[in-house]
Structure 1
Amino acid sequence: MDRRKIDIYLSTFLIIISAIILTDNNLVEGGAESNISSMFLPRFAACLIIIFSLTIAIQSLMKLTKHTEITANEIIPTEGLSGVFIYIGILITYWIAMLYLGFLISTPFIMIAVAVLLGGRRWGSIITMSIATSLIIFYGSKIFLRVYLPTWTL
């Protein structure tokens, strides 16, 4: 399966969904009110999704139009489901760990596990980004959105 074509299809889908989030004001009803607004986080996330999707789609489209040869990492093997089962196992582990360890402790470990599953090998970068992302999400949701994520219960 050609990863470049999948990138274009998935990016197009994500851009359409993000455009709906940006333009539909009816999504506000029932949202949690914060200092910023109830639609700030969804619209901010939609803008980031559009930017990242465009980046991926343009790179893949350029490779397709230039008819460059497919490399080994651009082919998605479709035989076997071991990666899917491992990912589901990581998801279930995260769900259970969240109950006892809380968001701030369990999230970096799960992010590291997913990075290893996806082939990441730069340990310093993986650990730094896992911890930084967890801290930003935890304190950003607590301060700006007034959403309290699970904490340590042991």
Structure 2
Amino acid sequence: MDRRKIDVVLSTFLIIASVIILTNDSLAEGGADSEMGILFLPRVVAGFIIIFAATIAIQSFMKLSKGAAMEGQEVITTDGFSGIFIYVGIFVAYWLAVPHLGFMVTTPFVMLGVAYLLGGRNWLPIILMSAITPVLIYYGSREYLRVYLPTWTL
């Protein structure tokens, strides 16, 4: 499979969905309204999705239009499903562990596991991101969105 074509198609789909989120005011009914509005977070996320998806799509489209030879990471091998089963296993374990161990304890381990499966080998940035990202998400969701993520119950 050619990853470039998949990148262009998925990025186009994500950009269209994000534009719908940005332009449609009737997507949310009820919910906990904050000072920033009920659709503040979805719109911020949609904006980031547009930026990142456009970056990926433009790079892939440029390589497709030039007819550049595919590099090793641009070919998706479809033999075997072991990686998919491992991802599903990690997320099922995460889903079961979060209510008991809490978001702050389980999320760094899941991030490390997924980074390892994706082939990450530069451990210092991976460990730093796995530690910093859950803290930022936990604090941001509690302080700005008033969403309380699960904490340690044992």
Q: TM-score, normalised by structure 2?
A: 0.98
Match of 1:115 in 2: 115
- C-alpha distance in 2 between matches for 1:64 and 1:134: 37
- C-alpha distance in 1 between matches for 2:32 and 2:23: 19
Show the 5 A alignment for 1:65-76: 65-76=65-76
> In the TM superposition, what is the alpha-carbon distance from 1:28 to its structure 2 partner?
2.5
Letter of the 2:149 counterpart: L
> In the TM superposition, what is the alpha-carbon distance from 1:35 to its structure 2 partner?
2.3
- C-alpha distance in 2 between matches for 1:149 and 1:10: 30
> In the TM superposition, what is the alpha-carbon distance from 1:98 to its structure 2 partner?
0.3
Letter of the 1:16 counterpart: I
CA RMSD of aligned residues (A): 0.8
> In the TM superposition, what is the alpha-carbon distance from 1:31 to its structure 2 partner?
2.7
**What per-residue deviation string (whole Å, max 9, x for no partner) do you get for residues 90-144 of structure 1?**
1011111102110011001101101111111111101111111101110000000
Letter of the 1:37 counterpart: G
Give the count of matched residue pairs. Answer: 154
Contact kept, 8 Å, 1:35 with 1:145, in 2: the verdict is no
Q: Which runs of 5+ in 2 are unaligned?
A: none
Q: Does 1:46 align with 2:39?
A: no
Q: Following superposition, which runs of at least 4 residues in structure 1 exceed 4 angstroms of deviation?
A: none
> Percent identity between the aligned chains?
60
Show the 5 A alignment for 1:73-152: 73-152=73-152
Match of 2:21 in 1: 21
Letter of the 1:147 counterpart: V
Letter of the 2:143 counterpart: I
Deviates more, 1:144-153 or 1:31-40: 31-40
Letter of the 1:43 counterpart: R
Q: TM-score, normalised by structure 1?
A: 0.98
> In the TM superposition, what is the alpha-carbon distance from 1:30 to its structure 2 partner?
1.8
Q: Which runs of 5+ in 1 are unaligned?
A: none
Letter of the 1:84 counterpart: I
**What per-residue deviation string (whole Å, max 9, x for no partner) do you get for residues 33-88 of structure 1?**
11211110000000000000000001101111111101111000111111110000
SS at 1:138's partner residue? helix
- C-alpha distance in 1 between matches for 2:92 and 2:28: 31
SS at 1:119's partner residue? coil
> In the TM superposition, what is the alpha-carbon distance from 1:29 to its structure 2 partner?
1.1
